[in-house]
Amino acid sequence: MPKRVSLFVTCVVDQLFPRAGMAMADVLERLGYQLDFPEAQTCCGQPAFNSGFWDQAREVAAHFLDVFEDAECIVVPSGSCTAMITHHFAGIMEADPALLARARRIESRVYEFSRFLTEVAGVEDVGARFPHTVTYHDSCHALRELKIKSGPRQLLSAVSGLTLKEMDAAEECCGFGGTFSVKFDEVSGAMARTKIESIHRTGAEYVVSIDSSCLMQLQGALSRAGSPVRALHLSEVLASR
Partner 1 sequence: MNPIPEQKIHDTLANANLQLAIYDATARLMHKRRTALDNPLAADFEAWREQANRIKRHTIENLDHYLEQLEQNLVHNGGKVIWARDATEAADFILKLAKDNNALRLVKSKSMTTEEIDLNERLEHHRLDVVETDLGEYILQLAHQRPYHIVAPALHMTRYQVADIFTERLGVAREVVIEKQTMIARAKLREKFLTADIGITGANFLIADSGAVVVVENEGNARLSSSAPRIQIAVAGLEKLIPRAQDLAIFLKILGRSATGQPLTVYTSFLAGPRRAGEIDGPEQFYLVLVDNGRTRVLADRDKRQALYCIRCGACLNHCPVYRKIGGHNYPWVYSGPIGAILSPLFHGVTEDPWLPSASSLCGACGEVCPVKIEIPKILLELRNDVVKAKQREGSGKLERWAFRIWAFFMRHPKLYEMAGMAAPAILPEASGGAWIQSVALPLRIGPLARWLSQRDLPPPAARSFRQQWRERRRQA
What's the closest the beta carbon of residue 21 comes to partner 1, in angstroms?
4
With binding defined as CB under 8 A, does residue 95 bind partner 1? Answer: no
Work out which of 115, 137, 141, 233 binds partner 1, going by CB under 8 A: 141
* C-beta of residue 201 within 8 angstroms of C-beta of residue 176: no
Work out which of 2, 31, 54, 90 binds partner 1, going by CB under 8 A: 54
CB-nearer residue toward partner 1: 122 or 228: 228
Q: Decide: helix, strand or coil at residue 124.
A: coil
* C-beta of residue 217 within 8 angstroms of C-beta of residue 209: no
Work out which of 73, 75, 126, 221 binds partner 1, going by CB under 8 A: 221
* C-beta of residue 1 within 8 angstroms of C-beta of residue 119: no
Task: Give the interface segment with partner 1, choosing from 39-47, 96-104, 116-124, 127-135 (CB under 8 A).
Answer: 39-47
Size of the site for partner 1 (CB under 8 A): 68
With binding defined as CB under 8 A, does residue 100 bind partner 1? Answer: no
What's the closest the beta carbon of residue 125 comes to partner 1, in angstroms?
25
Query: What is the Cα–Cα distance from 88 to 115, expressed in whole angstroms?
Result: 19
Work out which of 75, 155, 162, 173 binds partner 1, going by CB under 8 A: 173
Give the contact letters, 180-219, x = binds to partner 1 (CB under 8 A), - = no: xxxxxxxxxxxxx-x---------------------xx-x
Residue 133 CB contacts under 8 Å (≥ 6 apart), including other chains? 162, 163, 165, 202, 203, 204, 205, 206
- Least Cα distance to 75 among 4, 28, 6 occurs for 6
With binding defined as CB under 8 A, does residue 109 bind partner 1? Answer: no
Name the strands in the sheet holding 4-7, side by side, starting at the edge strand that comes first in the sequence.
Answer: 34-36, 4-7, 74-76, 110-112
Task: Give the interface segment with partner 1, choosing from 38-46, 119-127, 128-136, 151-159 (CB under 8 A).
Answer: 38-46
Structure-derived torsion over alpha carbons of residues 15, 127, 142, 66, reported in degrees to the nearest 10:
50
Q: Which phi and psi angles does 41 have, rounded to 5°?
A: -70, 150
The residues that touch partner 1, with contacts defined as CB under 8 A, are 9, 11, 13-19, 21-22, 25, 37, 39-43, 45, 47-54, 56-57, 59-60, 63, 88, 91, 140-141, 143-145, 171-173, 175-192, 194, 216-217, 219-221, 223-224
